[in-house]
Structures are given as structure tokens and as C-alpha cells.
Amino acid sequence: MQHSNPDYDLIIVGGGMVGLALAARLAQTQIRIAIIDPKTVEMSWNKDDYDLRVSAITRASQKLLDETGAWSFIEPDEKTAYQKMSVWDGEASRGNIEFDANLLAEPNLGHIIENRVLRRSLFQAIKPYRNIDFLSPQKCSKVSYHADQASIELTDGKMLSARLLVAADGAMSWLRNNSGIDIKQTPYGHKAIVATIKTEKPHQNTAWQRFDHNGPLAFLPLTDEHHCSIVWSVKSDYADQLMSLDDKEFLNRLEQTFELTLGHCLETSQRVAFPLIERTAESLVQERIALIGDAAHTIHPLAGQGVNLGFSDVLELANTIEKTLKKQQDIGLKRNLRSYERARKGEIFMMQKAMQGFKLLFEQDIPFIQMTRSYGLALTNQHPLLKQQLIKQAMGL
């Protein structure tokens, strides 16, 4: 049913990190915002057990979290600042490159934070705002579009309307799929195995990544100096083999691949594997809808940029909405949303192509290519100015 005065100005479908960040970024505009999510926000947990899902938060993303007030809700023992990054080729001539925050006179390169911590802190940031409603646990059942608004029906039968809908409900987005927006999908042929690992040696507040023809293995430092979150992205058939191993066999294979860089791998949490697929929505905006985060795009996790791309979406869409509001125009019209799409498509395209290129380069086991890439890493490591530019780009500065 169509109403001349919608219930909200903005409805965000998806109350994960990216959806909540958009609400927090727009909180002070006083527009009426609803967030719909099937899962309530976890507010407390046993800190001895790490979330399997962690994110490498860049300095640019940290700035967004700080501006929204969310950063202040993250306790010191809930974030790990990493000062260094060590990347090496585990095959052939074994080139390597090391990045150090000291090269830019910066305190760190970024932070490793559990996803549940990020979600809770963003929820805490929006709680004081009376113009934001967090509707959870709730699921959507129908969506319809009209000339001056869009409507969503919840599974309990309640109808909600808004000038603009935002799909922030992840890679399998219900809102995107039910709004007729096609998505291009290209499987990487890899699965990512994630787990929390206890190591013999301390992680030295360093993010470690080793490449070989099977794929990249990353050890990301957690708050306890002997615990790391791993992301092991390997060819799907090899991932299945690794998942079939018992814990002792898996730890042995892991420490061999990681070349005992942090000594023996002593313990592992539950392991989870998921297929890696590059996804790109055919359009980021249509009349009355915009896509952000994984609903708009997914990339290979080897550079840890997934959620940071989503936070960049948030910044750009929020800026677009604010400019439209200043002009006293309709925030849901496609012509007023196009500047968001234009601003984001280039970075998304370049990031996806870069991830494809890295994957293809490092999965080659041809000796000449192995030697060439190792030489390239070593050469880059010897040029401080080039390293500075790479560090700045990775930090979002």
C-alpha cells in the first residue's frame, strides 16, 4: 500500500557492521532511519574465546568509526594495533617485503578487531539517537516500489515505507535479489579456512602473510600475543583435504606451510571454510534503492579490504544523501544517487582487478614466474619511497 508520507526517510536492510555504520554516519542529520536485521546485537561474551570473524581495520575506516563515536566503545583489550606487515613468497627464490609504520612516522598500520566487537560498538553509537529504530529480530518478506517511496513487508505482517532503501544485507542480499538487480559472480576456485591459532612464539604485533601456489596464508595478531586469527585461502580441493584432517594433523600442516615463523602451532579453535567468489552488482543504485558492502561487491580476502570497501561505500553514500538533503531534494531518486555509484565503481573495479592479479601471479608454479615475482618483491622492499606509497594506499591515507 502506498502512502504519501512514508514511515521513514531511510530503511537499511541489514544491521551488520556496514549497515550500522551508515546509520551512525547519518545519525546527526535527524532523518528518520530504520534498520532491519534477523539477528539481535550480541552485547557480551566470553573474551577467552575469539570470534572466528575478524577484520583488519585501516586508518581510514578507523576515522569513520571515530567520527561516529563507535571507536570510543571499543575497549583497549578488544583491538590489536599492528605496527608491521611481513609478506613473503614461500617458493622459488623467496622474495619478501616488509612494511613498518615507522616508515611513515605513524603509530600503526591498522587494527585487528573481532566483527562482533565492531557491530556492538556501532550499535552502542546509535542507541542515543531517537531518530533511529533498530528492528531486530525481524525478517523481510516483500518489497515494492512506487513513484515517491518504497515499501517493505516484514514476516510478522507489518508494513514499513521509506524514501530510500539500502541493501546492506550481505553477499546473498535478500533486498538486492528481490529488487531485480542482477549480480555477476566469478568463483575464484578457492575456499578460505578461518580459525584462531595459539602459537609458540609471540606475534610481535605483526600481520604475516605467506604465498605459495596453493594460495595465501595470513596470520593476524590478536589481543593475546600468542593468538592469531588465520585466513588460509587455498584451492578448493586442497581446502577440503585440510578440513578433513584432525586438529593435530591440521596444526602440523599449518606450521609447515607457515615455516615455523611463530614456532609451533599449539592449538586451534573450530575451523570454518567457505568458498570465495567475486561478486559485482550490475548497478549500485536504482530508483529508491542503493547497495553497499557485500550486497554490492565481494573480493578475495588476501588483502583484507572487504569491510574497508564497505565502509568507503558508507562514506560516499552518506555524503551523497547529505548533499541531496541540503538541496531539499528526494534522497531516493536515482538521479540523486548516481554520484554515489560513479564515485564507488572505479575503486571497486580496481580493487577486484588487483585481487585477481595477485591471485593469478602467486598461484603460478612456473619457475621463471616464481623468480620474477620474488625479484619484484625484493626490489620493492629496497625502495622506501615506493613502500611508503604502498603503505599509504593500504592504510587508506
Q: Where are the domains of the chain?
A: 8-61+116-185+277-357, 76-113+188-276+362-395
Report pLDDT for 65.
Answer: 97
Q: What mean pLDDT is predicted for residues 356-378?
A: 53
Q: Which residue pairs, CB below 8 angstroms and at least 24 apart, start in 334-340?
A: 334/285, 334/286, 334/287, 337/164, 337/285, 337/290, 338/285, 340/284, 340/285, 340/290, 340/316
Nearest by Cα to 183 from 276, 275, 291, 341: 291
Name the percent of the chain lying above pLDDT 70. Answer: 84
Distance CA 368, CA 216 (A): 20
What does residue 200 show for φ and ψ, rounded to 5 degrees?
A: -65, -45
Confidence grade of residue 378 (pLDDT, cut at 50, 70, 90): low
Give the separation between CA 262 and CA 389, rounded to whole angstroms.
Answer: 28
CATH superfamily of 76-113+188-276+362-395: D-Amino Acid Oxidase, subunit A, domain 2 (3.30.9.10)
Q: The pTM is what?
A: 0.89
Mean pLDDT of the 134-148 span: 96
The answer on pLDDT for 274 being more than 60 is: yes
Composition of the chain by helix, strand, coil, percent to 5: 40, 30, 30
Say if residue 389's pLDDT is above 50.
yes
Q: What are phi and psi of 325, to 5 degrees?
A: -65, -40
Task: Give the mean model confidence (pLDDT) for residues 262-287.
Answer: 95
Q: What is the mean pLDDT of the chain?
A: 88
Query: Which residues does residue 199 pair with via DSSP β-bridges, in sequence order?
Result: 265
- Phi, psi for 150 (deg, rounded to 5): -125, 150
Q: pLDDT value at position 5?
A: 84
Q: Where are the beta strands (DSSP E) in the chain?
A: 8-13, 33-36, 54-57, 79-82, 84-89, 96-100, 110-114, 132-135, 140-145, 150-154, 159-167, 183-199, 206-212, 215-221, 227-235, 265-268, 272-281, 285-286, 289-291, 297-298
Dihedral sign computed on CA atoms, order 189, 118, 79, 70: positive
| Residue 1 reports pLDDT greater than 50 | no
Q: Residue 265: its pLDDT value, please?
A: 97
Going by CATH, does the domain composed of 8-61+116-185+277-357 fall within 1.10.357.10? Answer: no
Percent of the chain whose pLDDT exceeds 90 = 71
Band the pLDDT of 16: cuts 50, 70, 90. Answer: very high
Kindly tell me if the per-residue pLDDT of 366 is higher than 80: no
CB–CB of 66/24 below 8 Å? no
Higher pLDDT, 142 or 388: 142
Q: Any idea which residue has 579490504 for its cell? A: 305
| pLDDT single digits (tens) 297-353 | 998 776 667 799 999 999 999 999 999 999 999 999 999 999 999 999 887 776 666
Tell me the pairing of strands 285-286 and 265-268. unpaired
- Of 111, 268, 269, the C-alpha closest to 205 is 111
Question: For the residues 372-377, what does the mean pLDDT come to?
Answer: 53
Residue 12's SS3 state is strand
pLDDT at position 375: 47
Banded model confidence at residue 194, pLDDT cuts 50, 70, 90: very high
Query: What are the tens digits of pLDDT across the range 42-66?
Result: 999 888 889 999 999 998 899 999 9
The more confidently predicted of residues 125 and 385 is: 125
Can you give the pLDDT at residue 105? Answer: 75
Is the model's pLDDT at 242 over the cut of 80?
yes
Of 22-26, 208-212, 226-230, least confident by mean pLDDT is 208-212
